[in-house]
Copies of this chain bind each other. A is one copy, B any other.
Amino acid sequence: MELFPIIPAGGILALLVALYMTSSVLKEDTGPKEMQTIAAAIREGAMAFLNRQYRTIAGLALIVAVLLALLTRQYHTAVAFITGAFASALSGYIGMYVAVNANLRVAAGARNSLNKALTVAFRGGAVTGLAVTALSLLGVTSLFYAFGGATNPTRAPLDIVGFGFGASFVALFAQLSGGIYTKAADVGADLVGKVEAGIPEDDPRNPAVIADLVGDNVGDCAGRGADLFESTAAENIGAMILGIALVPFFGVKGIVFPLVARAAGIIASIIGMFFVRAEENQDPMAALNRGYIVTSILAIIFLYPISRYMLSGPGVNFIYFYGAGIIGIVLSFIFVLITQYYTSYDYRPVKEIARASITGPATNIISGVAVGFESTALPVVFISLAILGAYWLGLKSGLPGGGLYGTAVATMGMLSTAAYILAMDTYGPITDNAGGIVEMSGAPEEVRRRTDRLDASGNTTKALTKGYAIGSAALATFLLFSAYIDEVKIALNIKGNFPVDIGKPEVFVGAFIAAMMVLLFSSTAIRAVGNAAQYVILEVRRQFKEIPGIMEGTAKPEYGACVDIVTRGALKEMVLPGLIVVITPIIVGLVLKAEAAAAFLMVGTITGVIVALFLNNGGGAWDNAKKYIELGNFGGKGSEAHKAGVVGDTVGDPFKDTAGPSLHVLVKLISTITLVLAGLFI
């Protein structure tokens, strides 16, 4: 087992690099006083939100942990749950801490050169990427060995599913409340500031402007970090469970293969990160893409010796599994391309929405819905091909029943670039914030142009990584679903097949309820934004009325009051959608039993992925249709088409930034819940 040391080595190396990058970011120049004041306000608001959010979630998590201990009548699952929840929260905290310190340094760096600003922003993002993936890897590994993985490797993976559940539990609430926060602040700031008072975006006279900038951090940074933390955790564990069946062929190697592959992916990402560097006149995206391509190529190279060493056996040809892993890596590229096609204004869909805006907001909306619906087709086709292809390769490998493991390896392949992707993702809100700081501090035009370019690339990376996140969730659904079936088989001590018979009415009903739950959850999440935004609107109006001199710039608005109100609003509004997702699968499992829970899981993940694609891509397309009009097409800024474009953009906001990303988490949360509670559903 000479490759095992790679696991801790990869994890610890990632943490060291993250530490190095943190200190290198913190050492940067913090710019003039005006910038520092604004950044401090954002930092305080974001950290205050995170603290209060974690206190709320900790309370909920403790209740769940106690219930888990009582229900499963053993401490493993509850301990794993708490560990997962804590590690998820910790990685969110680290990422956020660096992001809210990096934004100021990016703004300050933009006074010198584009490369300086870009490097600081990307390093800030890289800390999140590395911390999240390393903590997930180290957490799963430690628990695996703590629960006796060295002596009883076929039992330990089942004991650590709680880790995935804890991670998804925190992720759900983090993503939900972050998503609600960011859009409530955004909508509130826009409606009163831009529409009613007629002041531009990021104007310091708007009392909600700091809340808006805080929102970028808590929604995009902390939310997506928690999302990908649980992705990597849940999917590692799922693949390890599938590995149990392979012990007769590979020994423990089949079980720890996912961890080794993950560690190698982290190392590939670290190397790729050092390739991000931009000339003054270069497109920042080119620099980011270079790093991504290096990471992907390294991931493909590293996977070869690992598959060869770990997935060979008597009569088993590892090369087929290697092929399955490549399918996963290629699929992540394809997903990024499809997302780009549907959400960038270089292509037909966004242009179609922009053109429909000429005849007003109604046609803009209709066209956006049509594009969003349509955008689910290609991803499903490629996911299907990937699942079938990886399964087929797994069968060809010669390993009896190896098809399932083929899809697991493909998922590992897709997730091997996760650390890098997450770095690109967190880069987005950092540059966004830097732009806001530059704007509010009244920095010179030249600096603004630099941050604007960074911001534009940040919007692109945010959209692309959302595509990646849902793609990996979709590919993982089959893996997690199969892990659940395996777990039920182990619990029932079934050796052969455990067919879920969809001809039974309770199975059909379980499936029906799953699809409904996805829409009900989305409804409550979308509505939560509206509710929380109402608080902001009232507060901003109050300040405009009660504090004289705000509009003239002679008095400062009370930014803190707005931040406080959104914080409380978002945390209150996250409860209902969160409970729907946690309680529904439990009820279905307890009342309708294991087969119905399986159908629930299958249809819930399928519907969740599809609705998330619709919401994310539709929202992204509306956003860029507005930007396309603003570039001077169909009448440009101020035209009727532009007004319609703004409506579409606003509609898309809660779709793409609240409900859509929360559905990523939902898809995995229902998997981990059913995995953890499978024993009770029998």
Name the residue on B nearest A485 (C-beta).
B503
Please indicate which of the listed interface residues A497, A512, A651 has the most CB atoms of chain B within 10 Å of its own CB: A512
> Which of B478, B482, B502 is close to A599, meaning CB atoms less than 8 Å apart?
B502
Which one of A12-20, A61-69, A369-377 is at the interface? A369-377
A513 to B407, CA, bound (A): 18
A-B contacts besides A373-B522, A481-B508, 16 pairs, CB < 8 Å:
A195-B360, A369-B526, A370-B530, A380-B513, A381-B513, A384-B513, A387-B508, A388-B505, A391-B505, A478-B505, A478-B508, A500-B500, A515-B610, A603-B603, A603-B606, A607-B607
A356 to B380, CA, bound (A): 35
Instruction: Decide: B501 and A362 in contact? CB cutoff 8 A.
Output: no
List residues of chain A with CB under 8 Å of any chain B CB.
191, 195, 356, 359-363, 365-367, 369-374, 376-377, 380-381, 383-384, 387-388, 391, 403, 407, 478, 481-482, 485, 497-503, 505-506, 508-509, 511-513, 515-516, 519-520, 522-524, 526-527, 529-530, 537, 598-599, 602-603, 606-607, 610, 614, 646-647, 650-651, 654
A478 to B502, CA, bound (A): 10
Instruction: Decide: A362 and B650 in contact? CB cutoff 8 A.
Output: yes
Name the residue on B nearest A374 (C-beta).
B523
List residues of chain B with CB within 8 A of the CB of A530.
356, 363, 366-367, 370
List residues of chain B with CB within 8 A of the CB of A191.
359-360
Please indicate which of the listed interface residues A373, A403, A500, A506 has the most CB atoms of chain B within 10 Å of its own CB: A373
A499 to B647, CA, bound (A): 49
A359 to B192, CA, bound (A): 10
Q: How many copies does the complex hold?
A: 2
List residues of chain B with CB within 8 A of the CB of A388.
505-506, 509
A537 to B358, CA, bound (A): 13
List residues of chain B with CB within 8 A of the CB of A527.
367, 370, 374
List residues of chain B with CB within 8 A of the CB of A511.
602-603, 606
List residues of chain B with CB within 8 A of the CB of A356.
530
Q: How far is the CB of A194 from chain B (nearest CB, A)?
A: 12
Name the residue on B nearest A644 (C-beta).
B361
Instruction: Decide: A366 and B647 in contact? CB cutoff 8 A.
Output: no
Q: Which 8 A-B pairs have the closest CB atoms?
A: A373-B523, A362-B650, A499-B501, A380-B516, A374-B523, A499-B499, A373-B519, A384-B509
User: Contacts A513-B384, A516-B610, A614-B519 known; A647 to B361 CB distance under 8 Å?
Assistant: yes
Q: List 20 A-B contacts (CB under 8 A).
A: A191-B360, A356-B530, A360-B647, A361-B361, A365-B647, A365-B651, A366-B526, A366-B530, A366-B654, A369-B651, A370-B530, A374-B524, A374-B527, A377-B520, A380-B516, A388-B506, A388-B509, A497-B503, A500-B500, A500-B503
List residues of chain B with CB within 8 A of the CB of A610.
515-516, 519, 607
List residues of chain B with CB within 8 A of the CB of A503.
481-482, 485, 497-500
Q: How far is the CB of A248 from chain B (nearest CB, A)?
A: 20
A614 to B516, CA, bound (A): 10
User: Contacts A361-B361, A651-B362, A651-B366 known; A505 to B407 CB distance under 8 Å?
Assistant: yes
